[in-house]
Amino acid sequence: MTLGEGNHQLEKEPLKNIYEEISMLITEEADPRFSRLDRSSIGDILRRINSEDAKVSKAVRKEIPHIAKAVELILMNMKKGGRIFYFGAGTSGRLGILDAAECNPTFGTDPNLVQGIIAGGKETVFLSAEGAEDDISSIPIEFDRRKISPPDIVIGLSASKRTPFAVEALKFGRKMGCPTIFITCNPREDVDVDADVLICPVVGPEVVAGSTRMKAALAQKMILTMLSTTVMIKLGKLYKNFMVDLLDKSDKLSARSIRIVMNTVDCNFDRAVSLLKEAGGKVKTAVVMGKMSVKRTEAEKLIEDADGFLYKVFGEE
C-alpha cells in the first residue's frame, strides 16, 4: 500500500481512506505555534519541547479514575491467575516491552506474568518497521503461542487509536473473553474501540507534527508505570515504599537489597548481609527474619499467611 519507488499507482483509494482517518486525529495535527521550529535556536527548541512535556502529567492526572478502574480490573483477574499482555506497534509496542521487562527485577515477578508484544516481532524493537502495525495476521498466532485466555488481561497501546495491530489484539481478546484495556492519546468520545476500560490522556498536537514518540509516548510511559507499580503494590510487593521482592541479579541490586534490609530491620551492614545469606537472597524473608527474630522457614510461612504483605506480618495498621 506504500507509495515507494515504482508503486505510485498502488491502492490509492485505501490510502486515501487512511489519510482522511488520520487527518482527523489530534495526535496528527500540526500546531501553528511551532511553524518556525526549523529555524529556531537550539535553546528555543529545547524550551518548547520541555514546555509541552510539562502538560503531559496534567493530562494523565485527569485519567486517574480510569487508570484506577484498570488497576482494579487487573488485580481482580491476576488474583485468578491472569497475566498481563501489552500489544502495540512502534514506540507504543516498545513501551509495553519496557514496562514488562522491568517488572521482573523490580518486583520479583515471573517473567511470564507481564509480557510485551510488538508488531513485527523482536526485530522491530531495535529497527523500525512502521508497516508492521498494519499486519494483524500474527495476532491469533501470538494468542495461541502464549496461550492467552481468560483471566489474562489484554492491553492495547495506540497513540493514534487506530493502530490495526493493537485494535485487532483487543478484538481478539474480547472474542476470547479476556478483560481488555485500551490506552490512546485521542479524546474518549472519538474512540470507537471496544474495551472494558478506556484510558485517554489528551496531550494535544506534538511539537513535531505527528511524532507521537514525544508527548503521546511520554503519557503512555507514565500510565504503564502507574498501572504496573500500583498493581504490584496491591499484590504485596512493597513494604512501606521499599521493593522487598526485588531480585538480586546484579551488584547494584545486591547493594540495594542490603540497604533495604538495613533500613527496615534497623541493623548494620554486616547484619544485613548475614540475614540475606540466611534468607537465600530474598529481601522480604530477610526482613521478617530480622524484625521477628525467626528462622527462614518460619519467616516464609508468616509471609505466606499474610499473602505477601509485610505490614500484616508485623501487625501494623
This model's pTM is above 0.95: no
pLDDT at 6: 44
* Percentage of the chain modeled with pLDDT above 90: 79
Assess whether pLDDT exceeds 70 at residue 243.
yes
Assess whether pLDDT exceeds 50 at residue 70.
yes
* Across 12-33, average pLDDT: 68
pLDDT at 142: 96
CATH 1.10.8.1080 fits 251-313, yes or no: yes
φ/ψ of residue 269, rounded to 5:
-60, -50
* Percentage of the chain modeled with pLDDT above 70: 92
**Pick from 93, 173, 85, 172: nearest CA to 132:** 93
Q: Residue 7 — very low, low, confident or very high, per pLDDT cuts 50/70/90? A: very low
The C-alpha cell at 217 is 509516548
Assess whether pLDDT exceeds 90 at residue 2.
no
User: Which residues of the chain does CATH 1.10.8.1080 include?
Assistant: 251-313
More confident site: 4 or 253: 253
* Across 109-138, average pLDDT: 88
Q: Residue 148 — very low, low, confident or very high, per pLDDT cuts 50/70/90? A: very high
The topology (CATH level 3) of 56-234 is Rossmann fold (3.40.50)
Residues in Cβ contact with 61 at an 8 Å cutoff, skipping those fewer than 6 apart: none
Q: Could you identify the residue written with the cell 495476521?
A: 137
* Across 4-16, average pLDDT: 53
Distance CA 302, CA 304 (A): 5
Across the chain, what does the average pLDDT equal?
91
Assess whether pLDDT exceeds 90 at residue 165.
yes
130 is catalytic: no
The H or E element that residue 65 is part of is helix 64-78
pLDDT at 29: 77
* Across 157-182, average pLDDT: 95
Q: Single out the catalytic residue among 28, 52, 63, 133.
A: 133
Q: What is the DSSP string of 301-313?
A: HHHHHTTT-HHHH
Q: Single out the catalytic residue among 29, 72, 102, 142.
A: 102
pLDDT at 8: 42
User: Which residues of the chain does CATH 3.40.50.10490 include?
Assistant: 56-234
More confident site: 133 or 81: 81
Assess whether pLDDT exceeds 90 at residue 30.
no
For 164-185, the three-class secondary structure string (H helix, E strand, C coil) is HHHHHHHHHHHHHCCCEEEECC
pLDDT at 157: 97
* Across 182-208, average pLDDT: 94
Q: Do you know the residue count of the chain?
A: 317
φ/ψ of residue 210, rounded to 5:
80, -5
Which of 23-32, 50-59, 105-114, 216-225 shows the lowest mean pLDDT across its residues? 23-32
pLDDT tens sequence across 273-317: 999 999 999 999 999 999 999 999 999 999 999 999 999 999 998
The C-alpha cell at 30 is 500540526
pLDDT at 34: 87
Distance CA 239, CA 44 (A): 44
133 is catalytic: yes
pLDDT at 57: 97
pLDDT at 13: 57
The C-alpha cell at 252 is 547494584
Q: Residue 161 — very low, low, confident or very high, per pLDDT cuts 50/70/90? A: confident
More confident site: 8 or 61: 61
- Per the DSSP assignment, residues forming a β-bridge with 87 are 117, 156
